Structure 1
Amino acid sequence: MAEGQGADGPGPDGRAGWADGLRFAFGTLSVLRVRVERWDRAAGGRAMIAAPLVGVVLGAAAAGTGALVARLAGGPLGAVAAVAVLAALTRGLHLDGLADVADGLGSGKPAEDALRIMKQSDIGPFGVLTLVLVLLAQVAALSGQFSASPLRGALAVLAAAVAARCALAWGCLRSVPAARPGGLGAMVASTVTPAAAALSTGAAALLTALAGLADDWSALRLPLAVVIGAGCAALLLRRCVRRFGGITGDVLGAMAETAATGALLTIALAG
């Protein structure tokens, strides 16, 4: 623990504690009603490191729903239910970010114009196509897992949800600037050290490995999926930084969906 910092609140030097970061994380990354007491870069940085815990909670809810539907109505509908619950629990913000980034990257315009396109409320053809393909990929990958067994499908959902939130810390590395002032992207940009991002991802991978012990097939594949999913998001981050000059809230959302999809495809291919 840093000097002058409490374990559950801001210390006398004004630094954010982990409780502030958790409230920030759940308040901004989910529909759960959480009172965010600090809205600053210190709390935002802690939130991005702690984001995989949000993935555990949301992933568990989606996994349980998907497993129940799969038992009652089959694997494909279980997959649709799980994806729908994850989208509902995040207000669809990550999917919206994915569509906006696809429109910005696909526009071929200079960074300033591309960022303006991303801020518009409508979705262009690149965004629509990307959303359709990504959601189809997620549902198809999960359908196979739920059809194999509801438990295996549930574990895949959990791994995808955790991988999506692991990507956020990597998007907020201190070497990555904000693409524009204002918004969530500017609030959390350049707030996370590489060591903290690696520790967060490593802990999340270990957690999924422990969960995977419930199914021998999943014990090694789940942490591998988390790491590969985060790696896929890092490739998108590199492209966005080159194209836009930094990150925005949309870029972070797109990274989350990219990591989730990469994790699910890894699990499907490993099977």
Structure 2
Amino acid sequence: MSSSSTSSPSSSSPSSSSAFDGLRFAFGTLTVLPVRVRRWDRGAARGGMLWAPLAGLVVGGCAAGLGLLLLVLGAGPPLAAVASVAVPAALTRGLHLDGLADTADGLGSGKPAEDALRIMKQSDIGPFGVLTLVLVLLAQAAVLAQLYDGSWARGALAAVASAVAARLALTLAARTGVPAARPEGLGAAVAGVVPRGAAPALAAGAVAAAGAAGACLGGHDGVRAALAVAAALVAAQLLLRRCVRRFGGVTGDVFGALAETAATTALAVLALGP
């Protein structure tokens, strides 16, 4: 990786190498897919967080695919919905749900930041975490069951849009100016790596893309899908502000909580209206 060498592969095509390192970082840290992360430096982390919505698209596509397969095989909407909720959990080893539970315990403890962070690092889950997990999973499954029951296409769109919104929330949380609460861990590795201007540009693109995808089902669906992604990002940002004030910055657990909050918010918005 010497900067003076002109014959090495990395120096001959730095942009290509950087892009692939970012992709590996995104899929290697945000999914269980067999992708080896070769670099853990800030440059790879920046690329990984910028590619995070693409990882969400893959996760959401798998979730929608399993739900639709079960519907085709004769299963009812509730089972298809549960499957679509289970896929993102499985593809992330449950880390986002674990982060949600730990963050809920930390916020609910009422203790100073240092003590709250210590609670979040413990392996057990407290009452706030259990209650939050139950409510979030029930809400996600209920919405998807409702949407699958009305239209398989709307259910599939919801599974994909919520997964993309969840990972986009991580991109926004990793933008410049958001500090890490601890000097170690995934939160410290990605905190502040995303350029300030890139995050809102990706957010605007995702909202527009969701609206375009929803519009294929109808005008109201297009508006609802765009609003769902926008509302998901707003909800995640509100939680991010709370966590930064409460803990002094972000952690890996906070990132998980942001992802699940965004996904649940997006689904809730998609369930509203006729």
TM-score (norm 1): 0.92
Between 231-240 and 205-214, the greater mean CA deviation after superposition: 205-214
Whether the 8 Å CA contact 1:9–1:18 is kept in 2: the answer is no
In structure 2, stretches of 5+ residues that fail to align are: 1-8
Matches of 2:119 and 2:187 in 1, distance apart?
Answer: 16
Matches of 2:118 and 2:15 in 1, distance apart?
Answer: 35
Matches of 1:155 and 1:222 in 2, distance apart?
Answer: 8
Q: How many pairs align? A: 264
Give the superposition deviation at 1:134.
0.5
- The alignment partner of 2:257 has SS state of helix
Between 14-23 and 88-97, the greater mean CA deviation after superposition: 14-23
Matches of 1:41 and 1:169 in 2, distance apart?
Answer: 14
Matches of 1:15 and 1:121 in 2, distance apart?
Answer: 40
Aligned to 2:270: 267
Give the superposition deviation at 1:10.
6.8
Determine whether 1:170 maps to 2:172.
yes
Alignment of 1:21-36 (within 5 A): 21-36=22-37
Give the superposition deviation at 1:194.
2.8
Amino acid at match of 1:58: V
Whether the 8 Å CA contact 1:10–1:17 is kept in 2: the answer is no
Report the CA distance shift for 1:48/1:233 in structure 2 as closer, same or farther (over 3 A). Answer: same
Give the superposition deviation at 1:42.
1.5
Deviations 1:35-65 (A, max 9, x none): 2121111211221121000011110010011
Give the superposition deviation at 1:86.
1.2
Between 164-173 and 210-219, the greater mean CA deviation after superposition: 210-219
Give the superposition deviation at 1:221.
1.7
Aligned to 1:63: 64
Determine whether 1:155 maps to 2:154.
no
Alignment of 1:120-135 (within 5 A): 120-135=122-137
Q: Where has structure 1 moved over 4 Å in runs of 4 or more?
A: 8-16
Give the superposition deviation at 1:119.
0.5
Give the superposition deviation at 1:16.
7.1
Report the CA distance shift for 1:70/1:108 in structure 2 as closer, same or farther (over 3 A). Answer: same
Aligned to 2:5: none
Report the CA distance shift for 1:266/1:172 in structure 2 as closer, same or farther (over 3 A). Answer: same
In structure 1, stretches of 5+ residues that fail to align are: 1-7
Matches of 1:202 and 1:131 in 2, distance apart?
Answer: 29
Aligned to 1:4: none
TM-score (norm 2): 0.91
Give the superposition deviation at 1:214.
3.5
Which structure has the larger Rg? Answer: 2
Whether the 8 Å CA contact 1:98–1:253 is kept in 2: the answer is yes
Matches of 2:166 and 2:12 in 1, distance apart?
Answer: 30
Report the CA distance shift for 1:251/1:9 in structure 2 as closer, same or farther (over 3 A). Answer: farther
- Percent of aligned pairs with the same residue? 61
Whether the 8 Å CA contact 1:70–1:79 is kept in 2: the answer is no
Determine whether 1:20 maps to 2:16.
no
